[in-house]
Each structure stands twice: as C-alpha cells, then as structure tokens.
Amino acid sequence: MKTAFITGASSGIGRATAVALAQAGFQLVVTGRRREKLEELARELANTPTHILTFDVRDRAAVEAAVGSLPAAFAEVDVLINNAGNAHGLAPIQDGNPDDWDAMLDGNVKGLLYVSRAVLPAMTRRQVGHIINIGSIAGIEAYANGNVYCASKAAVSMLTRTMRLDLLPHNIRVAEVNPGAVETDFSKVRFKGDEARAESVYKGFQPLVAQDVAEVIQFMVTRPPHVNVAEVLLLPTAQGAAATIRRES
C-alpha cells in the first residue's frame, strides 16, 4: 500500500485530500497543529491505516523530529502533499503587519521547504516519489493588498519548477495545484476571525469547495508513472482572474 503524507490535514483542502486519497487506496500520514482534529479524521477513516503527526511546519526542528519518528510502515513516503499554509491580513504594503508577513513567509515558503527536505531522502534513496505543492492563483496574478501573500505563493510556484528540475534525475514527479476562490476557513484566518467579512468573500457566486481541489489531487497522483500533471489552475466558473468574479446581485 502506498503512503501519502499530507500537511495541514486538520481542515479544508488538506482534510478533503486525506479523504480522497484514502478512497484511492493510500495509507496516510496526516499532519497539523490540532491533534484533536486529526484524531477525528483518523476515526472517520477507520478502514485506512493512518498515522498522526502533530507539528507546526514553521518549526524546522519539530518537522525533522516528527518525520524522523515515523514507524517503518509509514516511513517510505510515496506522495507528499505540501498543503499547509496561511494568509494573514489584507492591507497595502505600507500598512502591513510584519508579524503577518512572517507568518505567511514562514508557513507558505519555509514550511514547504522544511517538510520537503525531511521527506525527500527516502524518495531519492528509492528513486521514486511524487510531490504536489498547493499554490494559488495569487502566485500567478497580483491583486491589490495581496502583496506578501501573493509573493509567498509566487515563491511556491518557482520552487515547484526548480524542484522538478533538481529531482528529475531521481525520477520524482513534482507538480502544483493553484486554486482560485475556495470556500474554507482561509478567509476567516486572513481576517482574524471576522466571520461576517470572511463570508462576504464568497457571496453572490458559487465558489470551489475543498473536495473540488481534492478530486484534482487524487487524479494527479493516480496517473501512470510516466505521466506528470505538472501544473493545474483550478477556478470556479464565476472567476475570471484573481480579483475578477462575476457575482449575482
């Protein structure tokens, strides 16, 4: 049974991806900061072998210790889904909060690097593996007040491309999924718990849901070994660009 390692699996896209990959026959390593949510997920997937790791991707020592603690049955990771990330604040650069900047760069960029570096030795040793990084349309198109978040996701896009080159000699597939508007807790986190403001982001149109993204990831990781779906831009029909959405009045 192949092993999929999913970061940020306690909610949203990560959680939906865990369910989708379990349905595809993978055993799982699910990671996040909220152990109770991961335990709830493991109970839901009772028929799927599941190992829980609790850590913050921004903490390099914690990442390395967690990956190093994997039991033998889960240690040889076949698929890594770098999903954990965050958005904080929506302000012009001159008014931005440096703490928000640190959270986004540490989670979205450094966290991806830390987890990938910890998991890759087993893949390079076996000369096989598949890494999917969750980016964003924000990494492709800038939008007003998105500055550091857009920059962090642009970094994910460039890291994906360079990782694909670096890992080519090791037969490791590297790909990226760039979702547009997906209704998860994303906006609630960005607006620091302001539920009314978060809900307004998705009003007047039908956004993607986490399962939509998860189904695309499931498709990507179940292609034959000679096929790499290298980059996907996934938008709701009502979205034409990062900041252009057709809303019903």
- Encoding tokens for residue 155? 């970094």
Residue 150 CA to residue 137 CA, distance in Å, equals: 9
pLDDT of residue 132: 99
CB neighbours (10 Å) of residue 145? Answer: 15
pLDDT of residue 23: 98
Q: What is the pLDDT of residues 79-90, one digit of tens each?
A: 999 999 999 999
Cα–chain center distance at 228:
18
Check pLDDT > 90 for residue 249: no
Name 224's Cβ contacts closer than 8 Å, sequence gap at least 6: none
3-class DSSP assignment, residue 57: coil
- Encoding tokens for residue 131? 């890494």
Residue 225 CA to residue 104 CA, distance in Å, equals: 33
Nearest CA to 86 out of 33, 142, 16, 18 is that of: 33
Nearest CA to 111 out of 146, 86, 91, 92 is that of: 86
Residue 127 CA to residue 129 CA, distance in Å, equals: 7
Cα–chain center distance at 24:
18
149 is catalytic: yes
Q: What is the pLDDT of residues 171-202, one digit of tens each?
A: 999 999 999 999 998 877 887 787 888 888 99
- Residue pair 111/156 in contact by the 8 Å Cβ criterion: no
Q: What is the pLDDT of residues 137-151, one digit of tens each?
A: 999 999 999 999 999
Taking the model in full, what pTM does it have? 0.96
Q: What is the pLDDT of residues 160-171, one digit of tens each?
A: 999 999 999 999
- Residue pair 140/113 in contact by the 8 Å Cβ criterion: no
Q: What is the pLDDT of residues 16-31, one digit of tens each?
A: 999 999 999 999 999 9
| Average pLDDT in the chain | 96
Query: With 0-12 CB in 10 A as exposed, 13-18 as middle and 19+ as buried, what is 17?
Result: buried
Catalytic residue among 114, 143, 149, 202: 149
Mean pLDDT within 127-133: 98
| Sheet of 172-179, strands arranged across | 50-54, 27-32, 3-6, 79-82, 129-134, 172-179, 231-234
Superfamily of structural domain 3-245: NAD(P)-binding Rossmann-like Domain (3.40.50.720)
